[in-house]
């Protein structure tokens, strides 16, 4: 759906180092960071990148590198949680809709259409307006926005598999509907779902940074790359690195995740029809 890029090797070659460095950074960050990300040091505000502070300091003298490290952890955790909820719920609903058809299907489709009628960010904004601005509500908002896409993809896959003869074979052998779903449909639904999960992870990270950038995401002083970018705006002319570094982190991570997702899709792609 998103376009076959076709070079499994190339994608993996660039994607793995990018995602790898992210994971390494998070890993290191669990145990050690150069400075305390929240500690304010008014003696050294807006310091440019140098030996003591590789990425410089922000307006409160906080070390940008440490904040980036902590931010990566927060963003990734939120994105992971979102993907977990959306994939689990979406797959279950998609299987039901695709296999049972009839009124169950129609009802679920109407509901997903209704949710999909709202632009994702706005839906998230509305839910945050209701539930307040916390990690939990961000996860809730984003998973609500993304579950319908998962339902759609799973349902479409189930519909196409359903017509394949080996499903009929399963029935003719005496399998119950549940057995057919578990032994035959689910294994064939998993590859597209896995690929979708990687895309979702990227979108979730992007959305979380957008929300934080807008000021309705993760509340300060907890840093995420999004709110770091937002806070950098008043100081753009004197401390441009504050606007560059967090964005580079987001772009780098997304690029890595997307490339890995592409590599994964090509690898799983049936030369087996």
Partner 1 sequence: MSASLATPLLRLTGVRIEAVGRARAGSAPLLEDLSFDVAPGEFVAVVGESGSGKTLAARSILNLLPEGVRRVGGRIELEGRDLTQLSGPEMRKVRGAQIGMVFQEPMVSLNPAMTIGRQLAEGLQLHRRLSGDEIRRQSLAMLERVRITDPSRCLSAFPHEFSGGMRQRIMLAAVLLLKPKLLIADEPTTALDTLSQREVLELMVELAHDGGAAVLLITHDLGLVARYTERAIVLEKGRLMEVGTTRQILTEPQNPYTQRLVASLPRGSAAGTAVPDSAQVVVQVRNACIGYPGRPGLWRAGTPTQVVHGVDLDVRSGEIVAIVGASGSGKTTLGRAILDLKPLTAGSIRFDGIELAQMTAAQRKQFRRAAQLVFQDPYSSLNPRLRVRDIVAATLRHADIDPAARAARVDAVLDEVGLASFGDRFPHQMSGGQRQRVAIARAVVSRPRLVVADEPVSALDMTIQQQVLALFRKLQAQYGFACLFITHDLAVVRQIAARVVVMSGGVVVEEGPVPAVFCDPRHEYTRELLAATPALEAAALVG
Partner 2 sequence: MLSYICKRLALTLPTLVLVSIAVFLIIRLIPGDPALVLLGEGADGAALAGVRADLGLDRPLPVQFVSWLQHALRGDLGRSIVSGEPVAGLILQRFGLTAAVVLVAVTAATLIAAAAGLTAAWRRNSALDLAVVGTATVVLAIPSFWLGLVLLLLFGLKLGWLPFVGYIPFSESAVQALLFLVMPVVTLTITESGVLTRMMRSSSIDVLQLDYVTHARAKGLSERVVLTRHVFPNAFAPTLTLVGLTLGHLLGGIAVIETVFTLPGLGRLMVDSVLARDYPVVQGCLLFTAVVYVVVNLLVDLCYPLFDPRVTAR
Chain positions contacting partner 1, by CB under 8 A: 164-166, 168-175, 179, 183-184, 187-188, 270-273
258/84 Cα distance (integer angstroms): 18
Closer CB to partner 2, 65 or 242, in the complex: 242
Query: What contacts 250, CB < 8 A, 6 or more positions away?
Result: 205, 206, 209, 225, 226
Query: What contacts 30, CB < 8 A, 6 or more positions away?
Result: 73
Among 20, 50, 215, 221, binds partner 2 (CB under 8 A): 215
Instruction: Give min distance, CB of 60 to partner 2, in A.
Output: 20
Give the one entry of partner 1, partner 2, none that residue 184 binds, where binding means its C-beta sits below a cut-off of 5 to 8 angstroms depending on kind.
Answer: partner 1
Closer CB to partner 1, 4 or 183, in the complex: 183
Q: Does 269 bind partner 2 (CB under 8 A)?
A: no
Cβ atoms of 11 and 262 closer than 8 Å: yes
Of residues 111-130, which lie at the interface with partner 2 (CB under 8 A)? 111, 113-115, 117-123, 125-130
Q: Does 165 bind partner 2 (CB under 8 A)?
A: no
Instruction: Give min distance, CB of 88 to partner 2, in A.
Output: 22
């Amino acid at each position: 759906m998103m376009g076959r890029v076709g070079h499994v090797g190339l994608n993996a070659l660039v994607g793995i180092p990018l995602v790898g460095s992210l994971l390494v950074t998070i890993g290191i960050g669990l145990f050690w960071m150069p400075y305390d990300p929240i500690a304010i040091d008014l003696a050294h505000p807006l310091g440019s990148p140098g030996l003591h502070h590789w990425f410089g300091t922000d307006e409160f003298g906080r070390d940008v590198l440490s904040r980036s490290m902590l931010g990566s952890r927060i963003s990734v955790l939120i994105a992971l949680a979102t993907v977990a909820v959306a994939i689990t719920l979406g797959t279950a609903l998609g299987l039901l809709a695709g296999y049972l058809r009839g009124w169950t299907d129609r009802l679920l489709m109407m509901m997903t259409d209704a949710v999909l009628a709202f632009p994702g960010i706005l839906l998230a904004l509305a839910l945050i307006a209701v539930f307040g601005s916390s990690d939990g509500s961000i996860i809730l908002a984003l998973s609500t926005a993304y579950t319908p896409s998962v339902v759609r993809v799973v349902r479409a896959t189930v519909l196409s598999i359903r017509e394949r003869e080996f499903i009929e074979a399963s029935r003719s052998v005496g399998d119950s509907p549940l057995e057919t779903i578990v032994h035959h449909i689910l294994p064939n639904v998993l590859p597209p779902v896995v690929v979708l999960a990687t895309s979702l992870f990227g979108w979730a990270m992007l959305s979380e940074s957008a929300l934080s950038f807008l000021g309705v995401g993760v509340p300060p002083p907890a840093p995420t790359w999004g709110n770091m970018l937002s806070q950098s705006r008043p100081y753009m002319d004197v401390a441009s690195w504050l606007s560059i570094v967090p964005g580079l982190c987001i772009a780098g991570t997304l690029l890595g995740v997307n490339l890995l997702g592409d590599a994964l899709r090509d690898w799983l792609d049936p030369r087996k029809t």
